[in-house]
Amino acid sequence: MSFASDTKQELCEIEDKPCCALAELAALVHGAGTLRIGRGGPSVVMTTEAPRVARRIFSLCKESFGFTPELRTQMRKRLGRRNTYQVVLPPERAGEVLVRTGLLFKSGEGLRIRRSVPLSLLRKRCCKHAYLRGAFLAAGTISDPGKGYHLEIVASTEEYAQSLAGLIQKLEIPAKVVPRRESFVVYLKESEFIVEFLNRMGAHQALMALENVRITKNVRNNVNRAANCDNANVDKTMDAARRQIEAIEQIEREMGFARLPRHLREMAEIRLENPETPMKELGECFDPPISKSAVNHRLRKLVEIAREMQTKKGE
C-alpha cells in the first residue's frame, strides 16, 4: 500500500463524536458526492476508489442519520483500472442529509446549493479537524515522504477550493490553491505544515512516519554538508600550502634564505620540510613552539616577499 493509502486507512479508524461525525460526513459529501435529480427527487452518490473510505461514509450515515445507504461496487473493465465504490443516499433521505450537512440551504429563492465550506457546522475546533479529515478522505492524497513532501485536496470549483484553503489557513497552516485542468487543488508542500495538517486530522502514525523520514533526511544532509565543508577546507588548506611553498622556493632561488630575518628563515625551512602539515602542527615544530596565528603571520610575510620580488622583476 502507498503512504496515502496507509494514511487514509488510519483516518478511517478514528472514532468521531456526533458533532464531528456530521462535519466529516459534510466534507465527504461535498468532496466525493454527486447530486442527481430524478423523478423521486434528489439523490446523492458518493464515489471513491478506497473501500475503507466507502465503509467510512456508510458508517457515518448510519451514525448521524440512522439509516443504511446503498453500497455499490463497479468492477473494473480493463486491466490497470481500479474498482470504484459508490455509497448512494436514496431520494427519501438525501434531502435531509444535504440540508443538515450544509450543502443545501434556504434562501429567498428556496433551497440553494452551497459551494463553500459550511462554517455553521464547524464552530468547535474538533469539528474543523473532522472536516479536514473528511475532505482528505474524499479527494486528498499525500506523496511518499521518501520521495518528497506534497499533500493536496482536489476541489471541483474555485469557490470551494478557496473556502477550504481559508479554513486550513485559520488553523495557521498556509495552504495554497492552484488550478489544474478542470479542477482546483488545495496543497501544502513544506514538510512542517504537512506534519501539522496530519496532526489536525488525527493521522498520528502517518505523522510519525513522515517525521522519521524527515529526521533521517536532515541527518544525511547535515553529514553531506559537513563532508563537503571538510573537503572544501582541505582543498583550501592544500591550495594555501602550495602557494606558500612556491613563494618560499622562489625566495630561495632568487635571493637565498640567508638574507631573510631569522624567524622567517626558520619558517621557510620548516615549511619546505613539512609541505602538507597544518599550521597548528607547524607551530609545534619550533623550539619553543609558536602559535598557529604566528605561523600564519610568518607564512603570509614570506608570500608577500615573493610577490614583491615578482613585481620588481616585472618592472
Contact 7/198 with Cβ under 8 angstroms?
Answer: yes
State yes or no: pLDDT of 315 exceeds 70.
no
Taking the C-alpha atoms of residue 205 and residue 222, their distance in angstroms, rounded to an integer, is: 26
Bridge partners of 95, per DSSP, are none
Bridge partners of 184, per DSSP, are 155, 179
Model pLDDT, residue 175: 96
Model pLDDT, residue 201: 96
Taking the C-alpha atoms of residue 27 and residue 155, their distance in angstroms, rounded to an integer, is: 11
Helix axes 18-32, 51-65, angle to 10 degrees: 130
Stated length of the chain: 315
Q: What is the dihedral of CA 229, 232, 236, 239, to 10 degrees?
A: 160
Name every residue whose Cβ is closer than 8 Å to that of residue 147 and which is 6 or more positions away in sequence: none
In the block, residue with C-alpha cell 483516518: 11
- Across residues 282-308, what is the average pLDDT? 89
- Across residues 104-125, what is the average pLDDT? 84
Q: H or E stretch including 160?
A: helix 158-170
When mean pLDDT is compared over 137-141, 276-280, 287-291, the highest value belongs to: 137-141
What is the grid cell recorded at 150? Answer: 506534497
Taking the C-alpha atoms of residue 8 and residue 152, their distance in angstroms, rounded to an integer, is: 13
Contact 22/97 with Cβ under 8 angstroms?
Answer: no
Taking the C-alpha atoms of residue 49 and residue 86, their distance in angstroms, rounded to an integer, is: 9
- Across residues 123-147, what is the average pLDDT? 94
pLDDT digits (tens, 9 = 90+) for 169-214: 999 999 999 999 889 999 999 999 999 999 999 999 999 999 998 8
Alpha helices in 71-203 (DSSP H): 91-100, 125-139, 158-170, 191-201
Question: Kindly report the CA angle at 223 between 222 and 227, in degrees rounded to 5?
Answer: 115
Bridge partners of 88, per DSSP, are 45, 70
pLDDT digits (tens, 9 = 90+) for 22-78: 999 999 999 998 877 767 667 889 999 999 999 999 999 999 998 889 888 887 666
Model pLDDT, residue 81: 67
- Across residues 4-13, what is the average pLDDT? 95
Q: Is the whole model's pTM more than 0.75, yes or no? A: no
Contact 84/47 with Cβ under 8 angstroms?
Answer: yes
Model pLDDT, residue 230: 65
Model pLDDT, residue 125: 94
Name every residue whose Cβ is closer than 8 Å to that of residue 55 and which is 6 or more positions away in sequence: 12
State yes or no: pLDDT of 314 exceeds 90.
no
Task: Report the mean per-residue pLDDT for the chain.
Answer: 88
